[in-house]
Amino acid sequence: MQQHFEVAAGSILGQNHRRVSQNNQDAWASLTLGQATIAVVCDGCGSRPKSEVGAQLGAQLTVHALAQLVAEEQPEDELFWQMLRKHLLGGMQTLQERLGADSQRLVDYWLFTLMGCLVTPETTWIFGLGDGVFAINEEFHQIGPFTNNAPPYLAYSLLWNTEKGLDPFQLQIYAQHPTEQVQSVLIGSDGVGDLVNVAEDYLPGKSELVGPLNQFWCCDRYFQNPDQVRRRLAQINREVIQPDWHTRQVRKIPGLLPDDTTLISIRRKGTKEGGSDARCNCR
């Protein structure tokens, strides 16, 4: 799919985590093969001490498991997604055993949400488990939030007692479209919801608007420089110190993104800059 689609991605630490000296607990991974484009965003559980490690490993496990499965199986088959889940749980279990980790250590590392995209020549899928966002052809969707800010995590399946009945922690298919109709896809962590909400705000310390979400698939610069998405998110989230000469005080302007924010944008090659939305901010 490399000849048809291009990918841009980035991630930044949220203001809430910065204030308490926590790491960015989001992670992303992407892979482009001859017959597929794969992208995954994972968001680690904020209350667990090592969840950013699990998110990083989970993103890598998912893209490589998908790459292997696409080479062997047809995604249209329902068993394909069951096999993906089995691969992911097996990878977590293997790493857990090698670390000599008990069930407590498992939840310290492996609690992360998952939002993924698989593009094949025939079909484009959005799948995952837990909260996050996705957009296809300008149509935005948000999964969650969940009650008590407690999304389902795939790793809970490793602790599930089968005597309770069917394991509820199953991968979900959120969208399925013919690839010939797909011009752009974006997947992201739940922090992207905050990014959408500040579209009409000014960048800290500047007279430039943040701009709508579609800039990330409309604007060429994000696909020309692999670090440009991260740079833009960092611009939106930087803290600025400015002097107020009238009051003779120093004013602190906070960043606009409280949560870790991660997105992957996929667009069909040849898409014209500016897209269908005249408000797309491509400066």
DSSP string across 233-255: HHHHH--EEEEETTTTEEEEE--
Question: Could you tell me which of 67, 39, 179, 187 has the C-alpha nearest to residue 123?
Answer: 179
The predicted-structure confidence for 174-211, as pLDDT tens digits, reads as follows 999 999 999 999 999 999 999 999 999 999 999 999 99
Q: Which structure tokens are listed for 2?
A: 């490399």
Best mean pLDDT range from 107-116, 228-237, 244-253: 228-237
pLDDT of residue 92: 92
**Amino acid making up residue 86:** K
Domains present along the chain, CATH in parentheses: 5-268 (3.60.40.10)
Given a cut of 50, is residue 275 above it in pLDDT? no
Mean pLDDT confidence for 95-109: 77
Residue 30 confidence class, pLDDT cut points 50, 70, 90: very high
In 3-state terms, what secondary structure has residue 211? coil
Whole-model pTM?
0.93
Which letter does DSSP use for residue 260 in this model?
A: -
Conformational region of residue 17, where left means phi above 0, alpha means psi within -120 to 50, and beta covers everything else? alpha
